[in-house]
Structures are given as C-alpha cells and as structure tokens.
Amino acid sequence: MLVENYQIIKNIHIGLALLSGSLFAVRGLWVLIVGSGAPLQRSINRVSYVVDTGLLIAALLLMIIFSFAPLSMAWLQAKLFLLVLYVGFGALAFRVKYSLQLRWLAYLIALLCFIGMYYSARLHQPFAGIFS
C-alpha cells in the first residue's frame, strides 16, 4: 500500500523539508533581530512543530517503503549527521543565555547544515558531493 504512494510521500517530505527550513530561517531571524516572546513568534513555533512532525513521519514512511537501514547509504548517513548538527546549532541559536554573536554563528551554521542536507538528498552524494 505504501509503495503505490511513494511519489506522494516523497513530494510531501520534500515540501515539508523546504517549509521546515523556511520556518527555521524566519524564526531565527525573528529571535535574533526582534527578540523572543512575541505572540506571532509563538504561533510560528507551533506551526513549525506540526511541520517537523509531519516531516519526520514522511521520512519514516519512506524508510519503511525501501527498507532502508539509516546507515546503509553514505548520503543518508551524511544527511542524518547534518540533521543532528542542524538541531544542535539551531537550539543554540535560540538560547538567549548565550551572546548574540555566538547565537548568530550557530544560526548560520545551522542554515549551512540544512543546505548540506538538502543537496545531499538531491544529489544522493554525501555532504552534497563536496568531499567526493
């Protein structure tokens, strides 16, 4: 049943990934420039959680369809490694207890990790083919 819906699930995953990255970029700019705590920012946070949950579900469905073991393909390993870095640096960027300069640096590194994930997935090359 899932195999017949592969293209739909893949397109949903790609769309949600792009939306998630866009929401992260907006949230990051909002927090770093305007500051946190605004009502609109809380709404964007909630939407972001829903999008990220859908993204995770679509990724799991794709893994089930192809019986992927997460560490079986080099590009997928790179994507998962970059995902961990993306989440870590993204969380650091939103922590107000750190200096603004460190938070901007973490934000930019997180965006670079997102771009690396995107291109690794598109090209099916680890780290977007940079080190190949």
Predicted TM-score (pTM) of the model is: 0.86
- 115-132 pLDDT per residue, tens: 999 988 888 888 766 655
State how far the Cα of 127 lies from the Cα of 120, in Å rounded to an integer. 5
Residue 15: per-residue pLDDT: 96
- 7-18 pLDDT per residue, tens: 999 999 999 999
- 22-44 pLDDT per residue, tens: 999 988 988 888 876 666 667 88
Contact 102, 92 (CB under 8 A): yes
Q: How far is CA 117 from the centre of its chain?
A: 8
Contact 27, 41 (CB under 8 A): yes
Per DSSP, the residues of 21-59 read: HHHHHHHHHIIIII-S--HHHHHHHHHHHHHHHHHHHHH
Over 80: is that where the pLDDT of 52 sits? yes
